[in-house]
Chain A
Amino acid sequence: MSRPDGRAALALTTPAMALIGLFVLLPGVLAVVGSLFRIDLGKGTRWTWVGLANFADLVADPDVARALLNTVLYCALTIVPSVVIGLALALLAESARRGKGLLRTLLFLPFTANLVAMAVVFRWIFELRGGFANQALAVLGVGPVNYLGDERYALVTVAAVGVWRGAALAMVLFASGLASIPSAVHEAAAADGVTGLAKVRLVTVPLLKPIVLFATVMTTLQAVQVFDTINVMTGGGPLGATETALTMTWRLGFTYFELGKAAALSVLLLAVLITVGVLRRRSMLGGAR
Chain B
Amino acid sequence: MNRLLWRAFRIGLVLTAVSIAVFPFYWTLRTAVAAPDSVFFKGISLLPDELALDNFTKAWRQADLGEAMLNGALMTVTILVCQLLTCVPAAYAFAKLRFRGRNVLYGLVLACLLVPTQATAIPLYLGIGSVGLGNTWLALVLPFTTSAFGIFLLRQYMVTIPDTLLEAARTDGLGTFSTLRRVVVPMSAPAIATFSVFSIFVHWNDYLWPLLVARDESLRTPPLALATFQQADTGLDYGALSAGAVIITAPIVVLFLIAQRRFVAGIAGGEIPG
User: What residues make up the interface of A, taking CB atoms closer than 8 Å to B?
Assistant: 1, 4-6, 8-13, 15-17, 19-20, 23-28, 30-31, 34, 45, 88-89, 92-93, 95-96, 101, 103-118, 120-122, 124-125, 130, 132, 135-136, 139, 164, 168, 172-173, 175-177, 179-182, 184-185, 196, 207-208, 210-211, 214, 221, 224-225, 227-228, 232, 246, 249-250, 253-254, 259, 262-263, 266, 269-270, 273-274, 276-277, 281, 284-288
Contact = CB atoms under 8 A, between A and B. Distances in A.
B264 A23 contact: no
A115 to B, nearest CB: 6
Interface in B142-175: 142-146, 148, 151-152, 156, 159-160, 163, 166-167
Contact of B265 (A95, A176, A221, A277): A176
A120 B230 contact: yes
Given A4-B99, A17-B90, A23-B146, 14 more contacts: A15-B90, A16-B86, A20-B148, A23-B124, A23-B145, A30-B126, A31-B123, A111-B201, A122-B24, A135-B44, A172-B263, A180-B272, A250-B118, A277-B111
A12 B89 contact: yes
B14 A103 contact: yes
Given A104-B264, A112-B256, A176-B266, A253 B207 contact: no
B244 to A, nearest CB: 7
A96 B11 CA distance: 9
A1 B265 CA distance: 28
Contacts of A34: 122-123
B61 interface: no
A10 B99 contact: yes
Contacts of A95: 10
Contacts of A104: 260, 264
B97 A274 contact: no
B124 A27 contact: yes
Contacts of A253: 122
Contacts of B180: 12
B71 interface: no
Nearest to A113: B249
Contacts of A111: 201
Interface in B29-46: 31, 40-41, 43-44
B93 to A, nearest CB: 4
Nearest to B44: A135
Given A19-B146, A27-B120, A224-B116, A1 B97 contact: yes
A225 B118 contact: yes
A136 B144 CA distance: 43
A228 B115 contact: no
Interface string B254-272: 0011001101111111111
Q: Tell me if B's interface is mostly helix, strand, loop or mixed.
A: helix
Contact of A9 (B99, B166, B249): B99
Contact of B110 (A96, A110, A113, A277): A277
A197 to B, nearest CB: 9
A31 B126 CA distance: 11
Given A113-B249, A246-B116, A15 B146 contact: yes
B145 A28 contact: no
For B18, B148, B160, B248, the residue with the greatest tally of chain A CB atoms inside 10 Å of its CB is B18
Contact of A45 (B10, B43, B118, B126): B126
B136 interface: no
Contacts of B137: none
Contacts of A113: 24-25, 205, 249
A121 B41 CA distance: 15
Contacts of B146: 15-16, 19-20, 23
B24 A121 contact: yes
A173 B99 CA distance: 31
Interface in B87-123: 87, 89-90, 92-94, 96-100, 102, 105-120, 122-123
Contacts of A270: 114-116, 119
Contacts of B274: 180-182, 184-185
Nearest to A112: B252
A125 B27 contact: yes
